[in-house]
Amino acid sequence: MPKLIVFGTYHDVQGLKNFEKNVTDPDYKAILGVMIQEHSVDFIFEEASRTGPSVASEMAAGRYLDIDSDTTYQFLSQFSEASERLYLPEILVKSRVQDTARTLALTVEDRRERSWVEKIKTQKFNTGLVICGVVHSLSIAFRLQGAGFDVEAYHYEPIKRLCDAFYPRCGSRGEPQN
């Protein structure tokens, strides 16, 4: 059975050219290069949601598939609930909180991930790299194991780089400065 390396990260660092919050992260590209070489990756699967090209697609030498390409407005409109929404209890509205938790629509996310597994199963490869949002990394790894693949899972969360990009007044530990 083919092997899959699941690599969960933030979409902001995937180098998705048409993603609104794209952050240049040279470490991301370097890590992908090492993973591709160490694991002899011959196919890259990516949750890019039609926002590519991406760093990974440019490294793939043609053996690449955006596994989330059907997650379009038309696809999502089949569901009565949004794929995610802000969770904003009344206490947060009155506080100084600038960001909040989000609720995920499990029905939508389940359908997306099942679709990814089916797309991966149709491809021929020895070792594939599956790049997805960090929220999906464990659940998709377990789904792929359940489908009979040999799976390893990794995650990359460059909080400092993202903090510096979005909140330039962050300190060296990523904490806001007064």
On average, the pLDDT of the chain sits at 81
- CB atoms inside a 10 Å sphere around CB 164: 15
pLDDT band at 148 (very low <50, low <70, confident <90, very high): very high
Pair type for strands 127-133 and 3-9: parallel
Contacts of 146 (CB under 8 A, 6+ apart): none
**Per-residue pLDDT for 140 more than 90?**
yes
Contacts of 177 (CB under 8 A, 6+ apart): 169, 170, 171
The whole-angstrom separation of Cα 68 and Cα 76 is 12
The whole-number pLDDT of residue 178 equals 41
17-31 mean pLDDT: 84
What is the per-residue pLDDT across 92-126, written as a single tens digit (0 to 9) for each? 656 655 566 667 778 888 888 999 999 999 999 99
Q: Yes or no: say if 54 and 140 are a contact pair by the CB < 8 Å rule.
A: no
Q: Which two structure tokens, joined as six digits, stand for 176?
A: 């806001």
The whole-angstrom separation of Cα 150 and Cα 162 is 32
What is the per-residue pLDDT across 62-88, written as a single tens digit (0 to 9) for each? 899 988 876 555 565 565 566 666 556
Look-up of token digits 């909140």: 167
Buried b (16+ CB within 10 A) or exposed e, 24-50: ebeebbebbeebbeebebbbbbbbbbe
